[in-house]
Amino acid sequence: MAPALDGALAAKSGPTVSHPLDPLTAEEVVRAGDVVRRHFGPGADLMFETIELAEPDKAVVRAHVAGAPIARTARFAVYRRGATGVWTGRVDLADGTVAGVAFLPDARPMISPEEFLRIEAAAKAHPDFQAAIARRGIARMDRVCVDPWTAGNFGVPGEENRRVAYTFVWLRLGEFDNHYAHPVEGLNVAVDVDTFAVLRVDDHVSAGRMPAVPVPMAPGEYDHALLARFREPLKPLDVVQPEGPSFTVAGNHLRWDNWDLRVGFSGREGLILHQVAYTIDGRRRPILYRASMAEMVVPYGTPEGVHYRKNVFDSGEYGFGKLANSLALGCDCLGHIHYVDAVVNDLAGAARTIPKAICIHEEDAGLAWKHFDFRSNRTETRRLRRLVVSSITTVGNYEYCCYWYLYQDGTIEFEVKATGIINTAACIPGAPQPFGTEVAPGVVGHIHQHVFCARLDMEVDGPANSVVECDTVALPMGPDNPMGNAFRVVETVLATERAARRRVDFAKMRSWKIVNPGARNAVGKPTAYRLEAGSAIQPYLDPEGPSGRRAGFIYNHLWVTPFAGDERYPAGEFMNHSTGDDGLPAWTARDRPVENADIVLWHSFGLHHLPRTEDYPVQPRVTCGFKLMPAGFFDRNPLIDLPPETNRASRAAGDAPSCCG
Ligand code: CO
């Protein structure tokens, strides 16, 4: 059983640490920053990319008992402004010692939120940029918006061995105007993010590399202060929980129905789920040791101009957690909400708290199961609920809303709702757009994808798991299949890393099971969960191209590795300007055994985005994700014991209020 909870909803997770997997508190971040600064000596130029919890070994975590002392260690990545390379290491937060310091001369840190507006200011202060803006007839520099895109690794002369942003430009017509409606085409600035020196102003129009394209000036507003009219609002639809929600929170430990788990958060990944387990028949059964969305990349598909440089790893190059929103009650979150604040580090090595970064609530999930017996005229119906743990990140023009759902039937689902503003470029109105859609006159949205990679550290009924590929095949007609109806599942254990580099196959209705060979269900089969890869997508980046090389994880939908604490991110630890030498393709080339072992699943999935006029000026959310479903994990429908209930607040049209009070 899970450790006892105090049952109180009290509570903000305060500054106290009650478990080895609790994220660093603000005090711990500050202490780690102080220790690291002392270690590297005086100087204001020490910059902190990352201070985060160094998760203890699994054995330590599993052996932890409530109330026992907890050894706390922070992991750091720091650099000196203006010098290349990154130092990594660990801080023992109890004795203030630094250990395991390594210098990575080729690593370049991610771009921090504090650097966004400094990059813009550097570009706007440069006389060549000012001249290019003036040539376009734009009078007010204060209305020019310069977005700090990561620069990739394209071998551009002058950018070598630097940390560079390659910017794109838009024009804001008023204080709340949607500047993405007004792209300024053919003007880009390469800015050194360490020194804020402008390396190059590229005016592709004046250089004769492309024709002049007018800045589209029609408004594309979404701010309510600027929208002229609203439709009649619908009547209120309130989520009322008169007795409060059914989950309990103690620190970062969450318990709801038969589930319990720990909620974590990091500046790089955002939401993390730890130690997800389901208790049935008095037995707490582990499923996931740790789950997160560990990387993502957005390749754009046009070779026109310099748009090929748009190939951004929003997680590894900026930090999904660092860019998390503070959520708004009644807007982002509906119902009875428990919020958790997130703590990340800033560039100076101090703590930055993002209030209400994590939303926890429960939702009705429709029907759970039903049967009507036409002989006895009896009906049994049960409704389903899910627990939702969510967080929303804004990366420049775009919003990624991440939802983990735990259903009462044992299903775990991850969903990304993508919304925000599509990335825009200017075009000649009406001109053919082979690589995009003209979403408004003179505004084009280019074809692109959003490819995510989930890191799923599995422990189905314990640490030793295997992955089994399940292909459904039809038998040829013949003596064994005289009527031509026969089809069956062929199961193959994926025994090594190379064998476990897999892609979906619709012709075989392929799926994958994570089994525990040492645990049996009521019919003698290994207990298992199944990965439902419902959003697998086909990549179009050439794997040998400068962007494809850095995004190796997108070329397989499934990868399996033996657990290694330093294999955390599928495209590598340091993504900014990466070469592609680190990450899943390199790790799995070793072909380590992954059968009946402590394994990590990596699932690549995403959105294939052909922009629509309906995506403009702001995109209605589109979704992608995956499910982990019990498949032989339980001995029967785990919802058979749901009590028969009727929701008394529901009423039929024309009924008098039926509530019995
Ligand atoms: Co998109």
The yes or no reply on domain 26-104 and CATH 2.20.25.10 is no
Question: Ligand 1 centre from 623 Cα, in Å?
Answer: 11
As a CATH number, domain 249-630 is: 2.70.98.20
- The reported pLDDT for the residue numbered 15 is 57
171: which 2 tokens? 């024009």
For CATH 3.10.450.40, the residue range(s) in the chain are: 26-104, 113-203
Q: What is the pLDDT of residues 412-435, one digit of tens each?
A: 999 999 999 999 999 999 999 999
Of residues 401, 589, 621, 628, the one with CA closest to residue 511: 628
Alpha helix segments (H runs only) across 12-165:
26-40, 58-63, 113-124, 127-135
| CA atoms lying within 13 Å on the CB side of residue 204 | 16
CA distances 83 to 47, 50, 86, 322, 380, Å, are 11, 17, 9, 23, 69
Which stretches does DSSP call E strand in 475-539? 487-493, 511-520, 526-532
Question: Ligand 1 centre from 622 Cα, in Å?
Answer: 9
Question: Ligand 1 centre from 398 Cα, in Å?
Answer: 8
Q: Mention every residue, 6+ apart, whose C-beta is less than 8 A from residue 339.
A: 12, 327, 333, 355, 356, 357, 358, 359, 360
Alpha helix segments (H runs only) across 464-555:
none
Question: Ligand 1 centre from 609 Cα, in Å?
Answer: 5
Which three-class secondary structure string do you get for 51-94?
A: EEECCCCHHHHHHCCCCCCCCCEEEEEEEECCCCCEEEEEEECC
Of residues 388, 355, 357, 414, the one with CA closest to residue 245: 388
What is the spatial order of strands in the sheet that 86-92 belongs to?
46-53, 73-80, 86-92, 97-104
Question: Ligand 1 centre from 511 Cα, in Å?
Answer: 27
CA 608 from centre of chain: 16
Question: Ligand 1 centre from 325 Cα, in Å?
Answer: 19
- The reported pLDDT for the residue numbered 84 is 87
Question: Ligand 1 centre from 438 Cα, in Å?
Answer: 14
- How far is residue 661's CA from residue 656's CA, in Å, rounded to a whole number? 13
10: which 2 tokens? 């009290």
- How far is residue 53's CA from residue 60's CA, in Å, rounded to a whole number? 14
Which stretch of DSSP H or E encloses residue 584? Answer: helix 584-588
Residue type for 414, please?
F
- The reported pLDDT for the residue numbered 228 is 86
CB 544 within 8 A of CB 441: no
Torsional class of 94: left (φ above 0), alpha (ψ -120 to 50), beta (otherwise) = alpha
* Active-site annotation, residues: 314, 398
CB 400 within 8 A of CB 377: no
Question: Ligand 1 centre from 614 Cα, in Å?
Answer: 12
Question: Ligand 1 centre from 6 Cα, in Å?
Answer: 43
Question: Ligand 1 centre from 448 Cα, in Å?
Answer: 6
- The reported pLDDT for the residue numbered 654 is 83
- How far is residue 148's CA from residue 153's CA, in Å, rounded to a whole number? 15
CA 465 from centre of chain: 25
The secondary structure of the chain in percent helix, strand, coil, rounded to multiples of 5, reads 10, 40, 50
Residue type for 124, please?
K
Below-50 pLDDT ranges, the chain: 1-14, 658-661
pTM metric for this prediction: 0.95
271: which 2 tokens? 């939401």
For CATH 2.70.98.20, the residue range(s) in the chain are: 249-630
CB 537 within 8 A of CB 605: yes
The yes or no reply on domain 113-203 and CATH 3.10.290.10 is no
Residues 52, 53, 57, CA angle at the centre, nearest 5°?
145
- How far is residue 502's CA from residue 481's CA, in Å, rounded to a whole number? 30
Q: What is the pLDDT of residues 329-345, one digit of tens each?
A: 999 999 999 999 999 99
Question: Ligand 1 centre from 418 Cα, in Å?
Answer: 7
Question: Ligand 1 centre from 244 Cα, in Å?
Answer: 37
Question: Ligand 1 centre from 647 Cα, in Å?
Answer: 39
Question: Ligand 1 centre from 526 Cα, in Å?
Answer: 40
- How far is residue 599's CA from residue 529's CA, in Å, rounded to a whole number? 14
Question: Ligand 1 centre from 371 Cα, in Å?
Answer: 41
- How far is residue 387's CA from residue 246's CA, in Å, rounded to a whole number? 9
Of residues 551, 405, 508, 521, the one with CA closest to residue 461: 521
